[in-house]
């Protein structure tokens, strides 16, 4: 009898222990305490980026956000990463690595966080503040997206966990947004007056008085040293001698324009980005298409966007710095005034900033470098960026092949020299390489 009671007591204690273990495990699962960022899909990040792409997709001639599209994308990527990195035990904050970046908030030890909630809060906050001059209907759509995701997550979580995750994401976003205000993009500069002289760029048709972002190259770099040893040699020196390298460089653009094939014209129009995306943000659409195809978990997406965003924004800063340092004139003036083809026009309007380097090529080179580092040298991609405009999709066997085509498109369009595109591409790749080699995401 005594042994029977002892056995019963033992079984009772054993079952009680098992019950406590199961209860604790369930409580941790319900609270997300053991859930790392890698256990969640990237739905929240993809939905917010798709929404932002909608804001950047503009009709012809519209550009309310100036040069800010890629700058915003960089800050979004950093905020996304910082809002979920505590759930990535083998990764670390970018604090101390990015220029003047503020310290990020700490999570409460032993407390659970739901990382999609933190990401939703951070991305909603930044979207609302960066795009605060958009239409009332767009602002309402921001609220709708944020609330739809809130409703989904709230139904799955207890109130304390939900609110703790919201507070963490909001604090991250607030600190990132305040940091963004000090990068130089909001500085009010005096009106820009281009120097005068032969071969020196100044505004040309069809924008004879417009100057685009002459001080953008002064903005703060995200990564110190990212531009080191990335600059190519300048284009040939200006000359009107038919035997000079400069003359031949410009004449090539004219000669190509006289025998363009339908395929080449289609290439030029595909990457004109107006109508389409503002200020070179077409490449964010490329990023989005790859992410939708791969559909990675939230941890991978956050790292990928942070790397891609920083590389695009940094490359744009470096590109615009060189543009206004060298002031290389566009083909149109030389073709009309020196070559004597007074009625010549490019396939697409000449943008209102200097020729060298090609902005599309340089930011494209940076994008290609980062995406190749993430997905390999032979990633096949089909672009559907402008299906909405009735343009046929474009297929590439690698990101390198895609970026080369982007460079050629600007020559076919008649707005850049081949040298500006090939060297711009190289410069973008080098800037991205510096960033990838400098930043440490993993511990």
Rounded to two decimals, the pTM is 0.92
**How many distinct structural domains can be found in the chain?**
2
322/287 Cα distance (integer angstroms): 26
Do 167 and 250 lie in a common domain? no
Residue 16 in domain = no
Do 296 and 347 lie in a common domain? yes
Do 119 and 237 lie in a common domain? no
Residue 239 in domain = yes
Phi, psi for 395 (deg, rounded to 5): -110, 140
82/288 Cα distance (integer angstroms): 20
Do 296 and 420 lie in a common domain? yes
Do 149 and 236 lie in a common domain? no
Do 167 and 244 lie in a common domain? no
80/257 Cα distance (integer angstroms): 44
Span 377-424, pLDDT tens digits: 999 999 999 998 999 999 999 999 999 999 999 999 999 999 999 999
Range(s) of the domain holding residue 283 = 216-438
Do 150 and 276 lie in a common domain? no
Both tokens of 165, joined, read 């995750």
What 8-state DSSP symbol labels residue 277?
E
Residue 199 in domain = no
Instruction: Assign residue 255 the CATH number of its domain.
Output: 1.10.606.20
Do 57 and 125 lie in a common domain? yes
436 vs 195, residue with greater confidence: 436
Residue 193 in domain = no
Q: Are 56 and 284 in contact (CB under 8 A)?
A: yes
Do 224 and 335 lie in a common domain? yes
**pLDDT at position 61:** 59
Residue 14 in domain = no
Span 67-118, pLDDT tens digits: 899 999 999 999 999 999 999 999 999 999 999 999 999 999 989 999 999 9
Q: Are 286 and 54 in contact (CB under 8 A)?
A: no
Both tokens of 103, joined, read 């310290």
Point out the domain boundary residue: 132, 165, 180. 180
Do 167 and 222 lie in a common domain? no
3-state secondary structure of 292: helix
Span 218-255, pLDDT tens digits: 999 999 999 999 999 999 999 999 999 999 999 999 99
- Nearest one of 355, 363, 360 to 430, comparing CA atoms: 363
Do 366 and 305 lie in a common domain? yes
Residue 191 in domain = no
Instruction: Assign residue 87 the CATH number of its domain.
Output: 1.20.144
Residue 394 in domain = yes
Residue 24 in domain = no
């Amino acid at each position: 009898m005594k042994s029977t009671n002892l056995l019963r007591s033992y079984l009772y204690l054993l079952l009680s222990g098992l019950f406590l273990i199961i209860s604790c495990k369930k409580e941790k699962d319900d609270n997300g305490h053991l859930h790392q960022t890698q256990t969640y899909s990237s739905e929240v990040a993809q939905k917010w980026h798709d929404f932002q792409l909608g804001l950047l997709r503009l009709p012809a001639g519209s550009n309310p956000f100036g040069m800010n599209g890629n700058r915003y994308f960089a800050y979004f990527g950093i905020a996304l990463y910082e809002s979920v990195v505590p759930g990535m035990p083998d990764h670390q904050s970018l604090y101390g690595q990015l220029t003047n970046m503020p310290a990020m908030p700490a999570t409460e030890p032993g407390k659970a966080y739901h990382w999609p909630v933190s990401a939703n809060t951070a991305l909603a906050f930044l979207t609302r503040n960066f795009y605060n001059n958009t239409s009332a209907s767009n602002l309402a759509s921001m609220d709708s997206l944020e609330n739809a995701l809130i409703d989904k997550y709230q139904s799955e979580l207890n109130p304390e966990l939900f609110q703790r995750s919201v507070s963490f994401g909001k604090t991250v976003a607030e600190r990132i947004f305040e940091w963004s205000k000090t990068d130089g993009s909001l500085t009010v500069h005096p009106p820009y007056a281009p120097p005068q002289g032969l071969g020196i760029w100044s505004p040309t048709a069809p924008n004879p008085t417009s100057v685009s972002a002459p001080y953008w190259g002064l903005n703060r770099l995200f990564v110190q040293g990212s531009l080191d040893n990335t600059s190519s040699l300048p284009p040939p020196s200006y000359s009107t001698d038919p035997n000079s390298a400069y003359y031949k460089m410009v004449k090539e653009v004219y000669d190509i324009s006289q025998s363009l094939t339908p395929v080449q014209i289609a290439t030029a129009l595909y990457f004109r980005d107006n109508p389409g995306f503002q200020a070179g943000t077409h490449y964010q659409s490329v990023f989005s298409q790859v992410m939708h195809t791969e559909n990675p978990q939230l941890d991978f997406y956050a790292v990928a966007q942070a790397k891609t965003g920083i590389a695009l924004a940094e490359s744009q800063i470096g590109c615009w710095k060189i543009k206004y340092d060298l002031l290389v004139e566009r083909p149109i003036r030389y073709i009309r005034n020196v070559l004597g083809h007074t009625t010549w026009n490019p396939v697409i309007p000449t943008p209102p900033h200097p020729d060298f380097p090609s902005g599309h090529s340089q930011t494209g080179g940076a994008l290609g470098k980062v995406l190749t580092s993430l997905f390999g040298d032979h990633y096949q991609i089909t672009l559907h960026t402008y299906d909405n405009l009735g343009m046929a999709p474009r297929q590439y066997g690698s990101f390198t092949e895609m970026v080369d085509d982007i460079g050629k498109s600007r020559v076919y369009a008649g707005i850049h020299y081949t040298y500006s595109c090939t060297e711009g591409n190289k410069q973008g790749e080098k800037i991205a390489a510096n960033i990838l080699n400098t930043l440490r995401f993993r511990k």
